[in-house]
Amino acid sequence: MSHVIHRSLAKVPLVAVGGKGVQLFDKAGKAYIDASGGAAVSCLGHAQPDVMAAMHRQIDQLAYAHTSFFTTEVQEELADHLVAHAPAGMTDVYFVSGGSEAVEAALKMARQYFVEIGQPERTHFVARRQSYHGNTLGALAVGGNEWRRKQFAPILMDVGRVAPAYEYRDRRADESQQAYTARLLAEIDAKFQELGTDKVIAFVAEPVVGATLGAIAAPAGYWTGLRALCDRYGILLIADEVMCGMGRTGSLHAVEQEGISPDLMTIAKGLGGGYQPIGAVLAQGRIVEAMRKGSGLFQHGHTYIGHPMAAAAALAVQKVIQRDQLMPQVLARGAYLQKQLHARFDTNPHVGDIRGRGLFWGVELVQDKDSKAPFDAALKLHAQIKAQAMANGVLCYPMGGTIDGKHGDHILLAPPFIISESELDQVVERLGDAIDTVLARNGATAAA
């Protein structure tokens, strides 16, 4: 019996007792390659010695001091480090304890900014379908994951909704990529106009959509077009990099590859790499300056913001990423993973699309490659694959509802940055076997 309210109330999960490098171990002694880093969290793998040592040093010095009385050296140093490596103009950091808290803080900061500069009539957010921004009420409201939202929808704030940038399914056969991008941007422009261009606070989006779509970046020109559109109307652009940020895509921030700088950016999962719960909002200097010159404070706060242990862990993780020059490594290993995924799955009639950046990859399953028809949602293929992959000794992050919150299945891979080519071979082999087993079990042929 367990007194914990687990994610599934139907069964208690296996007990994890240890981890080292890319592996996790359960109580029965079985080893798993952690090919998803949980939910794209464990960027350095498990038991990284420099991070462990930094956490030990911090706990021996100071575990906690409330931020209404004190700052700490470690929080200051982490903020300095993040700002030194941030997109252009991002000069200030607000620390929280996770991704949802980061999104909530960003939404409130965006609203307060407009109150401070005399535009209190701005009250709307615009965001995309098939996105995820967290599970607290504000974050859930801006998120476009229909399954997660459904029962809470009546108590969520109203958010303007536009299409995701999901080229594999939504670009028409007779449409160039450029025309598709222009159509997406025109829809956003129309939504701004509909709500009132002087009534919108911000547009919120993931530069590379994570769990909900399975590692999908927008087509070329989308983010520069979006940036220009927001600037035209004085609307803020909030990039949610909770999953795709901190090196996951091969650059410290995913927006670097889009050549733009957002007004606010949320980071979390790879910031602390799972060693401590931590998230943050990075802000353009003018936003913080408006609050400083206006009311003099950001009207927000939690008990654990700027937690010294969390800051120590995150600082150590980020220093290892810099010291070991892991960004070129992520790109190199990512290119290798891409090649191996294509080698293993291109002949599979049920793998419709393989997409991603860096060490962030999605494999989308289809009933039929030509029509892109999904499998029957009732089969819950994603859940079967997750269980079978785990039995095969590999942890991956499959999700259903890829297309509309209900239909479609994909598998997300987000291995630690330190993974080797031979370990990636094992990941692809074990995942491939799991997919074959599950497809055969459900009466689908695994080979063309």
Ligand X SMILES: *Cc1c(COP(=O)(O)O)cnc(C)c1O
Interface with ligand X (CB under 6 A): 39, 98-100, 103, 132-134, 206, 210-211, 240, 242-243, 268
| 99 vs 432, beta carbon nearer ligand X | 99
Min separation Cβ 40 and ligand X, Å = 7
| 94 vs 375, beta carbon nearer ligand X | 94
Min separation Cβ 160 and ligand X, Å = 18
Min separation Cβ 99 and ligand X, Å = 2
Q: Report yes or no: 98 and 279 within 8 Å, Cβ to Cβ.
A: yes
| 326 vs 399, beta carbon nearer ligand X | 399
| 72 vs 130, beta carbon nearer ligand X | 130
Min separation Cβ 196 and ligand X, Å = 27
> Buried b vs exposed e over 329-358: b needs ≥16 C-beta within 10 Å?
bbbebbebbbebbeebbeebbbbbbbbbbb
Q: Report yes or no: 309 and 76 within 8 Å, Cβ to Cβ.
A: no
Q: Alpha-carbon torsion 209, 99, 282, 138, what sign?
A: positive
3-state secondary structure labels for all residues of 60-92:
HHCCCCCCCCCCCHHHHHHHHHHHHCCCCCEEE
- What are the residues facing 355 on neighbouring strands? 362
Give the residue at shortest CB distance from ligand X. 99
Please name the residues in contact with 310: beta carbons below 8 A apart, sequence gap of 6 or more. Answer: 95, 97, 272, 276, 277, 278, 304
d(CA 438, CA 448): 16
| 268 vs 438, beta carbon nearer ligand X | 268
Q: Report yes or no: 211 and 243 within 8 Å, Cβ to Cβ.
A: yes
Min separation Cβ 446 and ligand X, Å = 31
| 209 vs 428, beta carbon nearer ligand X | 209
Min separation Cβ 337 and ligand X, Å = 20
Please tell me the chain's helix, strand, coil percentages from 3-state DSSP, rounded to the nearest 5.
40, 20, 40
